[in-house]
Structure 1
Amino acid sequence: MSLRNIWLLSHGAQRHGGDPRVRALTAPILPSSSLGRALVNLSTNHYGLPKEKTSENGRVARAKVLTIDTMNPTVKNAKYAVRGPIVARAAELERELNEGMKKPFDEVIKANIGDAHAMGQQPITFFRQALAICSYPELLNDSTFPEDAKSRAYRILQSCGGNSMGSYSASQGIDSVRQDVARYIERRDGGVPSDPDNIFLTTGACDGIMTMLKLLVCGEGPTRTGIMIPIPHYPMYSATLVELAAVQVNYYLNEEKCWSVDISELKRALDEARHYCNPRALCIVNPGNPTSQVETRQCIEDVIRFAAKERLFLMADEVYQDNVYGHGCRFHSFKTVLFEMGPEYSNTMELVSFHSTSKGYMGECGFRGGYMEVINMDDEVKAELTKLLSVRLCSPVPGQALVDLVFNPPQPGEPSYDNFIKERTAILSALEEKAKLTEQVLNTVPGISCNPVQGAMFCFPRITIPEKAMIEATVRQIHQRQPDVFYCMKMLEEAGICVIPGSGFGQKEGTYHFRMTILPPIDKLQILLNKVKEFHQKFTQKYS
């Protein structure tokens, strides 16, 4: 539209001030007599949305209401490296291989994510039998199913509306499942009481973590909530904090001491953050992801003392508690240590812990089952937590059923017990073997150093990237100029190995890493490790 037409429309509005059709045309265009405002508003309507355009055939092309420029900016700013551009490229390479395109490799090995069943791990028989009965109750009459699977399924169905998993549950979760989870926690923690009313069933652990962060975040400017998270960290934390417009407060794990939590580093991070935000919560991941460390009991006690002294809400992500392989390592729950420290802490310290059916020996990622237990939470806040969970009605009921089965497994003397123990032991033993193999092989490669894989299901080796490769990544301005992203993309394109660069998890400046899962079957893991070794040697030689 020309400036002359703008002037005519404006004066037309004055001449036809009573005509609503003219007002409707002109008011959005000239909200004031300012020519500058007129020029700015040429491309948008009075709702701030792009105007419709006329195509070559004279038809009006309706502009999109939601565009990359008009969407929620916090969503654009959030990043999740585990399923980022390298993984997208891996999927493209798989399609190209299937179409017959020639590559330097025959298959893409996806070592980017902790998805056990996708890597070939077989499900636990008892879990699937009971879930099958829950899904199709007619199987209660099938003599081929063991009686303990039938009894578990029957109890779960009796707690479902209409005796069907297709019904909603209470927002906090099925009562009988929360009771079984509480009993499991008491067994795990040596008799420390657990109240089912403090158990909330969630859609995996991530759902619980995100919900708690929503409760914690408030304030503006220097009073905005800060959340302390470990670096390296699982990027769900940073992505959620960006989405909530909270302040991420980084504390660095000590790589030289097997990625342990250092109290002096916590203090440094906290003191610095208090100049620009209000730190209110401390997140600990134990065993670690991506770093695989298992914290000592003394470390956990020190963390609890620190959080209590600094008035921090403590969030314990313990989803890998069944995955402990390191010599002399043992999982200690934060709740156990808290109560062993006495009433001074156990009666006052605010703690929430998270667990999941996605990891451990179960690996049932797709069912999205999990729970969180809250300790010393204010009663009014707990009511608000229940309300917040009720917005999405409930977590998936099949996932809740799986939670019940995982934390109320076959007991000695029941028909499924021996096979259950055999399957669980085989999975955990294989993971321990793969953890040791991964550490051993990677540490034979000049330019790669890998801490012991004490737990979880990943390794996070440190890599040396030649200066020439760093210059090429920067000069070509590819892959966000990150040398480790450049390295991992090269590994994918040349060796068919999909791993995630350390920058996606955070790392100390000047250091480079990648995260790789140890989940592939032992024979494929050996192939994967040999390919990583061969690639790194060629990469180093090329860019030296």
Structure 2
Amino acid sequence: MHRSPAIARSLVGGVLDRYTPWKTYRCLPALRLRQGTEVCAVRRLSTAEVSVVSSENGKIREKVLTMETLNPHIVAVEYAVRGPIVMKAGEIETELHQGVKKPFTEVIKANIGDAHAMGQQPITFLRQVVALCTCPELLDSPVFPEDAKMRARRILQGCAGKSIGSYSASQGLSCIREDIAMYMEQRDQGVPTNPDNIYLSTGASDGIVSILKLLVTGEGTSRTGVMIPIPQYPLYSAAISELGAVQVNYYLDEDHCWALDVNELHKALSAAKKYCNPKVLCIINPGNPTGQVQSKKCIEEVINFAYEEKLFLLSDEVYQDNVYSPDCQFHSFKKVLYEMGPEYYNTVELASFHSTSKGYMGECGFRGGYMEVINLDAEVKAQMVKLLSVRLCPPVSGQAAMDVVVNPPRPGEPSFELFAKEKNSVLNTLAEKAKLTEKILNTVPGIKCNPVQGAMYAFPRIFIPPNAVEEAKTLGMPPDMLYCLRLLEETGICIVPGSGFGQKEGTYHFRMTILPPTEKLKLLLEKVKEFHINFLQHYSSLDATSR
């Protein structure tokens, strides 16, 4: 096994331990990675040094934008899912293409929930409708089924100039918002939905950030506090940093399958009130990166907590189709809120989110999504529409894709049989891979993986020997970062350290997606197993030597 300092050298030019803490590297906009180089290529030039190369007629013109003048909130943003390990994985891929010999022949990127990049095939009906919207001349083609043509015509009818190349209303095409409202009413067994409360977005992420922008105010101890689960999806911590809000952590219970305990919410809120003004409670259900599915009872307790503490609820429900455990069922916060009665349903402010990127569709590239916002103050709603108008509209092709998700083929329509077959195949395969991942990881000494009840990821806890922890500290990086770097360089497997998502002090994890094809997933898991055993043996021998 390679020594860790060699990994550090290959990642950041060999001076990681004498340059800056690892956290700083995750904030830098670019890392020039050169394996084997001994000179750090990411050293930040001072304003004076930059000015030397920008002189004209003997007069020095300083750069307007430098690290000293850059918005400090941007520097604070971190996004582990596409962080330095992924950049290193890209460099290794380039080296493999150039013929550089490695202990492996390919890089397996298990760091992100990108279904199609992992080989998942598109849903035929969705692509047919989007294709017809993009090329209306195909509407006369006998190749396309009539139900796909019917949906495409309806979408095109709602577009200016009958073209998805035109802008839509800022809130999204009205016909698609109507379809979303019908979908939500059917999903929630008759709970009423007003299309005017629905907003199409550029993926769910865009909607989440838009709502947070409305909520974040204040300075000092009056700054808005945003409660997020730990572990969390890094979009939340990144958006909180960018907006200058205060991150308020509440910890999920790993010993009870990452359950959400309302007592932990009370504890976190009470502590946060001393240094900020908590106004927002974020929930991810099913969970990312943890894969848990919340019970109806838990959701009721969370809603009651938000009601009593006057918190704005954000419910991230993009994995609502990804439930694999027969003992679990997805319950929308909207439906549970309605069932709790008018006192709750007419007062609790709730924004919920969905996306084309997950579920059985996996259409990440279309950037389709929507949010429903209920009980919003009328004047604030006008301000939100104004804010959304600044960006004109979300991609209309993404809106069309979202429409197919909420308005799929119905029984009796020409495309229903193929659609149902493709959808069930994707979800059944994901369920099998969820069980496979949990089963294999739990056979590895020093790894414990909770059941993957939903979503697309496993978040196992890993034991890292004391000697490895000390070595990571010497290198200025979290121990699970060292672990993931070693795994990448020795096996070609790219995963994300748990420190990028948050975890309890003294515990270490990694997140991996279950999306690779079954045979490749088996190979990945066996490689992780072999690596982990060797990792433990290596550092155990060092521990014995040091004694």
Q: Structure 2 length as normaliser, TM-score?
A: 0.89
Contact 1:133 1:139 in 2 (8 A): yes
Q: Which runs of 4+ in 1 moved over 4 A?
A: 49-52, 54-62
Match of 2:408 in 1: 409
Displacement of 1:69: 2.2
Counterparts of 1:205 and 1:58 in 2: how far apart (Å)?
51
Aligned AA for 1:78? Answer: V
Partner of 2:283, secondary structure, is strand
Displacement of 1:58: 8.2
Match of 1:24 in 2: none
Counterparts of 1:51 and 1:402 in 2: how far apart (Å)?
46
Counterparts of 2:50 and 2:525 in 1: how far apart (Å)?
55
Contact 1:50 1:64 in 2 (8 A): no
Q: Check if 1:527 corresponds to 2:523.
A: yes
Within a 5 Å distance, the mapping from 1:169-318 to structure 2 comes to: 169-318=168-317
Within a 5 Å distance, the mapping from 1:413-424 to structure 2 comes to: 413-424=412-423
Aligned AA for 1:100? Answer: G
Which one of 497, 502, 516 corresponds to residue 498 of structure 2? 502
Cα distance change, pair 54–295 in 1 and its aligned pair in 2 (3 A): closer
Contact 1:350 1:376 in 2 (8 A): yes
Aligned AA for 2:425? Answer: A
Aligned AA for 1:410? Answer: P
Counterparts of 2:147 and 2:387 in 1: how far apart (Å)?
36
Aligned AA for 1:521? Answer: P
Contact 1:52 1:60 in 2 (8 A): no
Match of 2:105 in 1: 106
Counterparts of 2:244 and 2:62 in 1: how far apart (Å)?
29
Q: Check if 1:164 corresponds to 2:160.
A: no
Displacement of 1:327: 2.8
Which one of 471, 475, 489 corresponds to residue 493 of structure 1? 489
Displacement of 1:87: 0.3
Partner of 1:512, secondary structure, is coil
Contact 1:50 1:65 in 2 (8 A): no
Displacement of 1:53: 3.3
Displacement of 1:481: 2.3
Contact 1:53 1:60 in 2 (8 A): no
Displacement of 1:65: 2.4
What per-residue deviation string (whole Å, max 9, x for no partner) do you get for residues 57-106 of structure 1?
Answer: 98667543222222111111110000000000000000000000011111
Displacement of 1:472: 1.1
Counterparts of 2:301 and 2:531 in 1: how far apart (Å)?
42
Counterparts of 1:406 and 1:273 in 2: how far apart (Å)?
39
Aligned AA for 1:488? Answer: C
Cα distance change, pair 55–315 in 1 and its aligned pair in 2 (3 A): closer
Match of 2:444 in 1: 445
- Which protein shows a greater Rg? 1
Which one of 535, 538, 541 corresponds to residue 542 of structure 1? 538
Counterparts of 2:336 and 2:391 in 1: how far apart (Å)?
33
- Count residues in correspondence: 495
Aligned AA for 1:529? Answer: L
- The share of aligned pairs that are identical, in percent, is 66
Partner of 2:481, secondary structure, is helix
Which ranges in structure 1 are unaligned for 5 or more consecutive residues?
A: 1-42
Counterparts of 1:489 and 1:345 in 2: how far apart (Å)?
48
Within a 5 Å distance, the mapping from 1:410-489 to structure 2 comes to: 410-475=409-474, 477=475, 480-489=476-485
Counterparts of 2:84 and 2:148 in 1: how far apart (Å)?
43
Match of 2:393 in 1: 394
Q: Structure 1 length as normaliser, TM-score?
A: 0.89
Contact 2:321 2:359 in 1 (8 A): yes
Counterparts of 2:54 and 2:66 in 1: how far apart (Å)?
19
Single out whichever of 60-69 and 265-274 deviates more from structure 2. Answer: 60-69
Partner of 1:251, secondary structure, is strand
What per-residue deviation string (whole Å, max 9, x for no partner) do you get for residues 328-357 of structure 1?
Answer: 100000001001111111111111100001
Aligned AA for 2:209? Answer: M
Match of 2:24 in 1: none
What per-residue deviation string (whole Å, max 9, x for no partner) do you get for residues 135-193 of structure 1?
Answer: 00000110111000000000000000000000000000000000000000000000000
Contact 1:50 1:63 in 2 (8 A): no
Displacement of 1:54: 7.3
Counterparts of 2:314 and 2:73 in 1: how far apart (Å)?
23
Contact 2:50 2:63 in 1 (8 A): no
What per-residue deviation string (whole Å, max 9, x for no partner) do you get for residues 367-400 of structure 1?
Answer: 0000000111111111111011011000000001
Counterparts of 1:311 and 1:533 in 2: how far apart (Å)?
47
Cα distance change, pair 55–220 in 1 and its aligned pair in 2 (3 A): closer
